[in-house]
Structure 1
Amino acid sequence: MTERGAGALWRDRHTLRIGPSQVRWDGQTLVIDIEEHGAVLPLNVRGQVRVTPMVYGQRRFRLDPGGRHVWEPLAPCSRVEANFTDPAIRWSGTGYLDANHGAESLEDGFADWQWSRAHLKDGSTAVMYEGQLADGSDFGMALRITPDGQAEVMEMPAPVVLPKTAWRLDRLTRADPGYTARLRATWEDTPFYSRTALATRLWGEDVVAVHESLNMKRFATGAVQWMLPWRMPRKV
């Protein structure tokens, strides 16, 4: 990912282009063409990711009472294909696509959040989303999104505290009572964000979940803002 100025942006109904990279919808598949440079080492990152929805979400959700922040599970279950030339990587599997949008920046609206999703045997997707707003109030929901895209509100499973990350970021997830979720892998570990693979149990079913922790208070600190360009190049 590269931060760029307004002159690098172009869009129409089906395409969003930022610099040499773009996201386009061809009617069935979201095609993501990537041509970037890595950081800290400026190595080429070139390839394509194709996201083909198998389930379309039918609802969007307000995350705060005033509706300033909205979350939408666009394609809770998708077929994903990744094909990169730099580096040479190919992968395919089951994925997920959602969107957050709102009337203010995330750091103005949230203190933190914990999110996870897991695909169930019947084709449904389990999604847990909870956290604290910037004013100190809590939000949270547990959803079972069925193969027809309907979101069924479920009772929130029991909380499970996960080990802190290497940056000492708190991680919390949910699992059936009496079950302790365990870490399978930590894919992303930064001062304010982590992404993790978990083995857990939800509503009587053993699942592999993708989990993220986000701390916007940390994100807004001067030290983290100073470090960001080292991980995300900026071209104005």
Structure 2
Amino acid sequence: MSVIGFIGSVFSPWYKWSGRKNPQNNVCINVATYGPGGRFTMTDRGTPALRQTASRLEVGPSSMRWIGDQLVIDIDEVSSPPLVSRVRGQIRVTPSAVTGVELPLTPDGAHVWRPFAPKSRIEVDIDRPGWKWSGEGYFDANFGTRALEDDFSYWTWGRYPTANGATCFYDATRLDGSELAAGFAFEADGTAREIPLPPKAAMKRSLWGVKRETRSDAGYVPTQHQNMLDAPFYSRSAVRTKLDGVETVGVHEALDLTRFRHPLLKPMLAVRVPRRRNWVFG
């Protein structure tokens, strides 16, 4: 599963249509579960639904908060069509350590990736049969002061577990034609080091035809292990690759921002991303 908290919901058509002048008026906690009966929730909410402190983010009925060394996420959302239903429960993320790494994605620092905890333990307890489990997890964030499509045409990101921690890759093509290519190895204690990049390897396109590629040992062909989320401009999947001679399965994302700029996509997204302007906290 994945949970993303947005202040200024970058993929919300409502945020785009508003002129992106007030990020606090387009907020959400996006929840997606994968596998049989998976759900997708992404309700765009207005300013009344947002409450923040240094250790807590509340968006309407859902919240994220630090309790000691755990990030506790309480969710109470409604999934979008075609499987409309309530998704309630709690997720606990326990980092093995928190890193101090920041990666500027543009030379002027308008976009920054912050891998807070590339190696974590996750415990999931959702009020549906079989939706209670624990396993490998991670926690990261992106920050930006401009729209993604104003600076990028395409990017991929991948996070792959290793024996001692995790390896992450970030590759992007900016609108000016310049390239970002970065790789980091993270130890369980939070130690991070930049690593020599293995070559890019093309993968089969997504169901919507989004181009996909990731990093792997030379001669190895990465493959999709599990489809997770498919959109006309975006793919999230579990991918099997090989790094330093060892096969590993991690989470991979590909984002086609040239497609995302197309105006016809926004009405399509509005079906999956309903707008709820008002909220009253109890």
For this structure pair, what is the TM-score category when the shorter chain's length is used for normalisation? over 0.9
Unpaired segments ≥5 residues, structure 2: 1-41, 278-282
| Paired residue type of 1:46 | R
1:43 aligns with 2:78: no
4+ residue segments displaced more than 4 Å: none
Matches for 1:11-90 after TM superposition, within 5 Å: 11-40=52-81, 41-86=83-128, 89-90=131-132
- Kept in 2: contact 1:31–1:51 (CA 8 A): yes
Unpaired segments ≥5 residues, structure 1: none
Q: Give the equivalent residue in structure 1 for 2:31.
A: none
Local SS of the residue matching 1:218: helix
Distance 2:126 2:262 in 1: 35
Q: Give the equivalent residue in structure 2 for 1:215.
A: 256
- What per-residue deviation string (whole Å, max 9, x for no partner) do you get for residues 128-153 of structure 1? 11011122211010111122322211
Distance 1:136 1:88 in 2: 46
Q: Give the equivalent residue in structure 1 for 2:184.
A: 143
Match of 2:210 among 169, 172, 181: 169
How many Å apart are 1:59 and its aligned residue?
A: 1.3
Corresponding pairs, count = 235
- Kept in 2: contact 1:45–1:87 (CA 8 A): no
- Kept in 1: contact 2:229–2:236 (CA 8 A): yes
Q: Give the equivalent residue in structure 2 for 1:118.
A: 160
1:153 aligns with 2:194: yes
Local SS of the residue matching 1:229: helix
Distance 1:185 1:42 in 2: 23
1:5 aligns with 2:46: yes
How many Å apart are 1:178 and its aligned residue?
A: 1.4
Match of 1:129 among 170, 178, 181: 170
Distance 2:151 2:60 in 1: 29
Distance 1:230 1:175 in 2: 37
Q: With structure 1 as the length reference, what TM-score do the two structures score?
A: 0.95
Distance 1:221 1:91 in 2: 39
Q: With structure 2 as the length reference, what TM-score do the two structures score?
A: 0.80
How many Å apart are 1:88 and its aligned residue?
A: 5.5
